[in-house]
Chains A and B, each alone.
Chain A
Amino acid sequence: MQLIPCPWCGPREETEFHYGGQAHVAYPQDPAALSDEDWAKFVFFRANPSGPLPERWTHSAGCRRWFNAVRDTRTHDLLAVYRLDEPRPVIP
């Protein structure tokens, strides 16, 4: 079972967390202005890289706060964890 470093609580077991999908997929400013295709991209399409992927997580059994993490989908290693108001760190 992985340890996930919550930015507020420190490392906790993964069962305390819930996955929230890809990060940095902002709700569109004006959904009505989007074409069906662009709206479908927002609703249904997500990146599926073999490698680092920014994700949203929530520490649901702890502080109940959301944060972002960059996870390597090949190894599950969390390469970076950062608050929602912080920019995505550059992964070397």
Chain B
Amino acid sequence: MTRLPDRGVVDRAAPLKFTFDGRELTGFRGDTLASALLANGVHQVATSIKYARPRGIVAAGVEDPTALVQIEAPFPEPMLSATTVELYDGLVARGLSGQGRLATEPDPARYDAEHIHCDVLVVGAGPAGRAAAAEASGRVLLVDDQPEPSGEIPGGVRFLSRTTAFGVYDDGFVLALERRGENAAPERISRRRVWRIRAKRIVLATGAHERPVVFPDNDRPGIMLAGAARTYLNRYGVLAGQRAVVFTTNDSAYAVAFDLADAGARIAVIADARDTVSARLREDAAARGIEIRTGHGIVGTAGGDRVTSAVVAELGATQGDRFACDLLLVSGGWNPAVHLFSQARGTLRYAPELGAYVPDGDLPTVRVVGSAAGEGLPEVKVLWQVPAAESEVDTRFVDLQRDATVSDVLRATGAGLRSLEHVKRYTTIGTAHDQGKTSGLLAAGITAEALGRDLAEQRPTTFRPPYTSVPFAALAGRNRGDLHDPVRVTALHPWHVAHGAEFENVGQWKRPWYYPRPGEDLETAVLRECRAARTGVALMDGSTLGKIDVQGPDAAAFLDLLYTNLMSSLKVGRIRYGVMCGVDGMVIDDGTVIRVAEDRFLVTTTTGNAAMVLEWMEEWLQTEWPHLRVFATSVTEHWATIPLVGPRSRAVLAKVAPGLDVSNDAFGFMTWQDAEVAGIDARVCRISFSGELAYEINVPSWHGITLWEALLAAGAEDGITPYGTETMHVLRAEKGYPIIGQETDATVTPQDLGMSWAVSKKKPDFLGKRSFTRAENLRPDRKQLVGLLPQDPAVLLPEGSQLIETDHVPEPPVRMLGHVTSSYRSAALGRTFALALVRSGRERVGQTLYVPVGAAVVPVTVTESVLFDKEGTRRDG
């Protein structure tokens, strides 16, 4: 039996059934999956990722590099370390080779986060942490990653168990992960909780991790860190082996050997790399009949799913005596767990007596205590690897999880890599789930030896959060599904849903994309919607358009500085299209500006840019032009906006707005009027983004559905058709109207878009003006917006396709002339067409260019960007 009746603190009254690799096994409450497996004599847990070698349990905590498991039930979780999985009834797990499987169905568990402030945060509830917590004053928070503290928690201290502090950030900000759900009722509480801690002062009592020594065949199951065996014995009552070989560089492994011997194990031999061992240890060993060989190490092992023997040889020799064993305990010394201190930008110092890095003094608000500071750790003979004979296949594993060997490190240094960061990336050492807790320092030491350097001078790699792996689900918390990102819907949204609209995400908005009728796909629906807008009457939900109310005595002067064209000359009651540029002269947004009153304008922006434009305005008002008396306020959600489009739109509007003279003379293009529409006070604008006769009707958003339904009723006999964003895009593209962000990126000027007419020559200055005369902006070979007609009218060019000059793709580098920004099938043109940004595009009108599409090269004719109704006669009806 490997579970001893008289050792350990597991709850033997609470047996737990679990399944591992299909075997039904039993453990106790208080076990980890690793301790329960060892209690059942299971040493091989997994196989290695690259060489598929059997791998076991190396450690008893978060530093374990090999015992990787996939939890299958109650819910699939990949890549967990068996040493950190608390055993619970019904657990189903299997060993992994270093790659897990994500669940395909949504996780039903809840995850959440809590914010907490404290005067002192103590990380680690060992003796040093508890002492620090007892001394601290004010609000004290103590966190520890184990289920139970190893001693009494001081009074007045808030204690969180099963909580791992995994990241220390600026200004006392610490993130910690609490594991809650597996042992409690998951339907009532969250499975994991992220604590977002803001602490005035931090005390790190994070302890130390034992490190191994590298030797040939050091990866077999049953080869374990010495301290881990002691933990399995004293905490879980599990004797990890019956006959053990111990290999050490320091005193700490002796206590392990004696504990195991006292519990009934046979210690075959202690191989001590040091030349001398204290008389006291020699006496204690002799009393137990344990042989000690000083100046010795391990040069080889044998075994399959578990180690069966180890060869003990004098350091430097390659031959030695073979000892049968079922457990090989290794101690290369102890590494203070300085991860969190290093994350807090604490500097480290190499301590040669420990063969490890220790904090080089405290930070103003971060203190390290106990073994994390190197206190009480045993002096060691620094030994990274046992000298070994050359072999064809190197099995001297430095990083067991990555299957990276000493040869891999030497290959890196042999290739000329000198910095530890480069060696790390070349070998992948330290990049697995365990982040090199046992392998990082070994790699550093072996690298330093290879380069003839001193670790005291070689800077260690930087520790970054997270200290242990954290599930994305925990980081996401409740911010998933519907709560992942705010969804913005218009006042008309319920109607769109009820009428089968397909939606498109535009920023956070849900916009109707198209309204398919039974049997229709996107293409046929859009062609139908386009025909309705061009030949009859159609309407869309334009409510998402950004709307900013700009008011104040200096509003007109402000807009003159912001837009490329003149806004102060706009009369009340009129509307002007405007383009906005950055100081570099590149277009950042466009829209219409309505003059509501002498001191008040309503500015519209593209749907996705509304917030950006408001921020742009506020930035200039606050930082450069604080003398301007202007307020800018977002009013996007206040209005429902419905463009009514098409040759029959005037007749339909007349029906629902009997008091409004809709004739072209009384209600001209680019003017607006207040009117009662369908009994609702409305602002009606004559604006056209389709090229057709069109009215944009704005009502307070709560009247949106009433207006929409009234327009549908009034237009029923004209076959009024709702249309979505896809149709809107086709209609505007036929007219050559660019969409900012689709036709443009941050390198396109108004002139490139063919919009010199929208750039004032009169204004002394506006944002972007000076840049237009820079040499770069005047180059004749800038990319300009043009239309493209594929010579085969059925061929639809993929958006993003590149344009070249030749009818075949030449040898690279291929000169790229530009790219397709928009591409559609047009009902009005009876063919496909595209818009593109093309080098010297306007000069190329009439030329044939080529677009590689897959294996084919499609010839296209370059045209002006306006492809439909060039004269603009349709907009007046």
Interface residues of A (CB under 8 A from B): 1-3, 18, 20, 26-27, 30-32, 34, 36, 39-40, 42-44, 56, 58, 60, 64-66, 75-76, 84-85
Given A2-B170, A2-B171, does the pair A60, B615 have CB atoms closer than 8 Å?
yes
B622: chain A residues at CB < 8 Å are 58, 65-66, 84
User: Pick the contact of A56 from B171, B623, B764 — CB < 8 Å?
Assistant: B623
A34, B770: Cβ atoms under 8 Å? Answer: yes
What does the 1/0 interface line of B760-776 toward A look like (CB < 8 Å)? Answer: 00001100011101110
Within the complex, what minimum Cβ distance (angstroms) separates B830 from chain A?
46
B624 on the interface (CB 8 Å rule)? yes
What does the 1/0 interface line of B157-177 toward A look like (CB < 8 Å)? Answer: 000000000000111010000
Chain B residue, CB-CB nearest to A58: B619
B774: chain A residues at CB < 8 Å are 36, 39-40
User: Pick the contact of A20 from B583, B619, B775 — CB < 8 Å?
Assistant: B619
Given A31-B765, A39-B770, A39-B771, does the pair A64, B618 have CB atoms closer than 8 Å?
yes
- A42 to B866 alpha-carbon distance, docked (Å): 37
Given A2-B171, A60-B615, A65-B622, does the pair A43, B775 have CB atoms closer than 8 Å?
no
A1, B170: Cβ atoms under 8 Å? Answer: yes
B421: chain A residues at CB < 8 Å are none
In the A-B complex, the 4 residue pairs with the smallest Cβ-Cβ separation, listed nearest first, are A31-B770, A2-B170, A3-B171, A66-B622
B626 on the interface (CB 8 Å rule)? yes
Q: Which of B769-785 contact A (CB under 8 A)?
A: 769-771, 773-775
Q: Which of B58-83 contact A (CB under 8 A)?
A: none
Q: Which of B173-190 contact A (CB under 8 A)?
A: 173
B171, A1: Cβ atoms under 8 Å? Answer: yes
What does the 1/0 interface line of B734-773 toward A look like (CB < 8 Å)? Answer: 0000000000000000000000000000001100011101
- Contacts A39-B770, A66-B622 supplied; 7 other A-B pairs, CB < 8 Å: A1-B169, A20-B623, A32-B764, A36-B774, A39-B774, A43-B584, A44-B584
- A36 to B584 alpha-carbon distance, docked (Å): 12
B771: chain A residues at CB < 8 Å are 39, 43
A20: chain B residues at CB < 8 Å are 619, 623
Chain B residue, CB-CB nearest to A36: B774
Chain A residue, CB-CB nearest to B618: A64
B615, A66: Cβ atoms under 8 Å? Answer: no
B773: chain A residues at CB < 8 Å are 36
Chain B residue, CB-CB nearest to A18: B615
Q: Which of B486-503 contact A (CB under 8 A)?
A: none
Given A1-B173, A2-B171, A43-B584, does the pair A36, B623 have CB atoms closer than 8 Å?
no
- For this complex, 18 residue pairs linking A to B, each with C-beta atoms less than 8 Å apart, are A1-B170, A2-B169, A2-B170, A27-B583, A27-B624, A31-B765, A32-B765, A32-B770, A36-B774, A39-B771, A39-B774, A42-B583, A58-B615, A58-B622, A64-B618, A84-B623, A84-B626, A85-B626
Chain B residue, CB-CB nearest to A56: B623
Chain B residue, CB-CB nearest to A3: B171
- A4 to B345 alpha-carbon distance, docked (Å): 19
- A56 to B170 alpha-carbon distance, docked (Å): 20
- A85 to B583 alpha-carbon distance, docked (Å): 23
Chain A residue, CB-CB nearest to B764: A32
- A18 to B198 alpha-carbon distance, docked (Å): 21
B584: chain A residues at CB < 8 Å are 43-44
Within the complex, what minimum Cβ distance (angstroms) separates A62 from chain B?
13
User: Pick the contact of A66 from B198, B583, B623 — CB < 8 Å?
Assistant: B623
State how many residues of chain B have any CB contact under 8 Å with chain A: 23
- A1 to B773 alpha-carbon distance, docked (Å): 43
- A58 to B619 alpha-carbon distance, docked (Å): 8
B615: chain A residues at CB < 8 Å are 18, 58, 60
- A45 to B618 alpha-carbon distance, docked (Å): 23
Chain A residue, CB-CB nearest to B767: A27
Interface centre among A2, A27, A85 (most CB of B within 10 A): A27
A39: chain B residues at CB < 8 Å are 770-771, 774
Within the complex, what minimum Cβ distance (angstroms) separates B623 from chain A?
5
- A62 to B464 alpha-carbon distance, docked (Å): 30
A32: chain B residues at CB < 8 Å are 764-765, 769-770
- A1 to B174 alpha-carbon distance, docked (Å): 9
A66, B619: Cβ atoms under 8 Å? Answer: yes
B173: chain A residues at CB < 8 Å are 1-3
- A40 to B769 alpha-carbon distance, docked (Å): 13
B770: chain A residues at CB < 8 Å are 31-32, 34, 39
- A40 to B775 alpha-carbon distance, docked (Å): 11
- A56 to B721 alpha-carbon distance, docked (Å): 50
A1: chain B residues at CB < 8 Å are 169-171, 173
Q: Which of B609-632 contact A (CB under 8 A)?
A: 615, 618-619, 622-624, 626
A26, B624: Cβ atoms under 8 Å? Answer: yes
Chain A residue, CB-CB nearest to B621: A66
A60: chain B residues at CB < 8 Å are 615
B765: chain A residues at CB < 8 Å are 30-32
Chain A residue, CB-CB nearest to B345: A75
- A18 to B622 alpha-carbon distance, docked (Å): 14
- A52 to B747 alpha-carbon distance, docked (Å): 32
- A44 to B746 alpha-carbon distance, docked (Å): 14
B583: chain A residues at CB < 8 Å are 27, 42-43
- A81 to B60 alpha-carbon distance, docked (Å): 48
A18: chain B residues at CB < 8 Å are 615
Chain B residue, CB-CB nearest to A30: B765
A56: chain B residues at CB < 8 Å are 623
A58: chain B residues at CB < 8 Å are 615, 618-619, 622
A34: chain B residues at CB < 8 Å are 770
What does the 1/0 interface line of B581-606 toward A look like (CB < 8 Å)? Answer: 00110000000000000000000000
- A41 to B197 alpha-carbon distance, docked (Å): 43
Q: Which of B326-384 contact A (CB under 8 A)?
A: 345
A76, B170: Cβ atoms under 8 Å? Answer: yes
B624: chain A residues at CB < 8 Å are 26-27
- A39 to B770 alpha-carbon distance, docked (Å): 8
A36, B170: Cβ atoms under 8 Å? Answer: no
Within the complex, what minimum Cβ distance (angstroms) separates B746 from chain A?
13
B775: chain A residues at CB < 8 Å are 36
- A20 to B765 alpha-carbon distance, docked (Å): 23
Within the complex, what minimum Cβ distance (angstroms) separates B777 from chain A?
10
- A34 to B773 alpha-carbon distance, docked (Å): 11
Within the complex, what minimum Cβ distance (angstroms) separates B810 from chain A?
34
Within the complex, what minimum Cβ distance (angstroms) separates B567 from chain A?
19
Chain B residue, CB-CB nearest to A14: B170
Within the complex, what minimum Cβ distance (angstroms) separates B585 from chain A?
9
A3, B170: Cβ atoms under 8 Å? Answer: yes
Q: Which of B424-477 contact A (CB under 8 A)?
A: none
Chain A residue, CB-CB nearest to B615: A60
- A60 to B770 alpha-carbon distance, docked (Å): 29
Within the complex, what minimum Cβ distance (angstroms) separates A20 from chain B?
7
A3: chain B residues at CB < 8 Å are 170-171, 173, 198
- A70 to B381 alpha-carbon distance, docked (Å): 49
A31, B769: Cβ atoms under 8 Å? Answer: yes
Chain A residue, CB-CB nearest to B561: A27
- A60 to B773 alpha-carbon distance, docked (Å): 34
- A66 to B624 alpha-carbon distance, docked (Å): 11
B170: chain A residues at CB < 8 Å are 1-3, 76
Chain A residue, CB-CB nearest to B196: A1
A2: chain B residues at CB < 8 Å are 169-171, 173
B345: chain A residues at CB < 8 Å are 75
- A65 to B584 alpha-carbon distance, docked (Å): 24
What does the 1/0 interface line of B835-872 toward A look like (CB < 8 Å)? Answer: 00000000000000000000000000000000000000
Within the complex, what minimum Cβ distance (angstroms) separates B725 from chain A?
28
- A30 to B769 alpha-carbon distance, docked (Å): 11
Chain A residue, CB-CB nearest to B769: A31
A42: chain B residues at CB < 8 Å are 583
A76: chain B residues at CB < 8 Å are 170
Q: Which of B183-225 contact A (CB under 8 A)?
A: 198
Chain B residue, CB-CB nearest to A37: B774
Q: Which of B20-49 contact A (CB under 8 A)?
A: none
- A35 to B565 alpha-carbon distance, docked (Å): 23
